């Protein structure tokens, strides 16, 4: 039985507006259902930009992205937030409410769920991450790592089939990181996961690893010497 492609990137180019810097230079990539894929590479090479195309925050300038076989280029006004959840590298970019419980509940409420179902989703997401003790905290009082976990809880509460994580290891302390690794391992069985990371522990968990180099995607297992060259800078 052939694997189902849930994310497909075809000849994707991207140039930052008002600049001549071409950050994506003909990216082609297929992501299959229920696999964990890591995208690695040097800082500032476009990994975050690529992720923002995978959930249609950014629209293709040239090329296309298909999310569950639906073209982003042909449906520029469609929202894909129920299919794809994205954890930003900086959690402050996606935490808007002053209290943790309200922030995690924001997405489920927008789905029109009942108050009880919203509450259930919030509790389940917090239990998965071990952050029930943060529910009534003010978001402004949280550490960077705690904010990352709260933002991730908001994504889990949406129950997206596809989860994108932008450098989730950044800002986590030595005690939190093992919990994140354990969570990623468990999520692999029910979700498609795409992670941008240079963390070797996360890379080891991945089903496939790709290197974003000079605006193009390279399969690490087919070009390991280039991967070693890229990672030697860290």
Give the Cα-Cα-Cα angle 180, 209, 28 (nearest 5 degrees). Answer: 125
What percentage of residues in the chain have a pLDDT greater than 90? Answer: 66
pLDDT digits (tens, 9 = 90+) for 48-86: 999 999 999 999 999 999 999 999 999 989 989 889 999
Domains within the chain, CATH numbers bracketed:
1-81+192-234 (3.40.50.300)
- Helix 144-158 and helix 100-110, axial crossing angle in degrees, nearest 10: 20
| pLDDT at 1 > cutoff 70 | no
Cα distances from 27 to residues 23, 85, 109, 142, 216, in angstroms, run: 10, 21, 35, 37, 5
| 123 phi and psi angles, rounded to 5 deg | -65, -45
Report which of 19, 94, 95, 13 is spatially closest to residue 58, judged by C-alpha positions.
13
pTM: 0.91
Are 2 and 30 contacting, i.e. CB atoms less than 8 angstroms apart? no
Q: What is the pLDDT of residue 118?
A: 97
For all residues of the chain together, what is the average pLDDT? 90
pLDDT at position 135: 96
Cα of 135 vs its chain's centroid, Å: 23
pLDDT of the residue at 124: 95
Instruction: Give the chain's count of helices (H) and strands (E).
Output: 7, 10
pLDDT digits (tens, 9 = 90+) for 114-123: 999 999 999 9
How would DSSP label each residue in 137-152? SBGGGS-HHHHHHHHH
The alpha helices in the chain, defined as continuous H runs, are 47-54, 100-110, 115-129, 144-158, 177-187, 200-205, 224-231
Q: Which two tokens stand for residue 178?
A: 């093992």
Rounded percentage of the chain residues whose pLDDT exceeds 70: 91
Note whether 92 and 147 are within 8 A (CB).
Answer: yes
Question: What digits encode the pLDDT tens for the residues 148-165?
Answer: 889 999 999 999 999 999
Tell me if residue 79 falls in helix, strand or coil: coil
């Amino acid at each position: 039985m052939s694997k189902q492609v849930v994310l497909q990137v075809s000849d994707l180019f991207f140039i930052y507006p008002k600049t001549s810097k071409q950050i994506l230079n003909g990216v082609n990539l297929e992501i299959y259902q229920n696999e964990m894929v890591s995208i690695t590479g040097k800082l500032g090479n476009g990994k975050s930009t690529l992720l923002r195309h995978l959930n249609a925050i950014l629209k293709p300038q040239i090329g296309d992205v298909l999310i569950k076989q639906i073209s982003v280029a042909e449906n520029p006004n469609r929202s894909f937030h129920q299919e794809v959840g994205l954890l930003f590298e900086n959690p402050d970019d996606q935490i808007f409410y002053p209290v943790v419980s309200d922030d995690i509940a924001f997405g489920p409420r927008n789905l029109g769920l009942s108050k009880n179902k919203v509450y259930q989703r919030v509790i389940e997401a917090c239990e998965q991450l071990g952050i029930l003790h943060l529910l009534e905290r003010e978001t402004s009082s949280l550490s960077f790592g705690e904010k990352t976990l709260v933002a991730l809880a908001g994504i889990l509460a949406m129950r997206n089939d596809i989860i994108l994580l932008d450098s989730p290891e950044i800002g986590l302390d030595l005690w939190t990181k093992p919990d994140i690794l354990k969570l990623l391992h468990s999520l692999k069985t029910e979700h498609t996961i795409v992670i941008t990371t240079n963390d070797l522990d996360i890379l080891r968990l991945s089903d496939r690893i790709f290197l974003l180099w000079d605006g193009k995607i390279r399969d690490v297992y087919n070009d390991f010497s280039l991967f070693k060259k890229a990672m030697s800078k860290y």
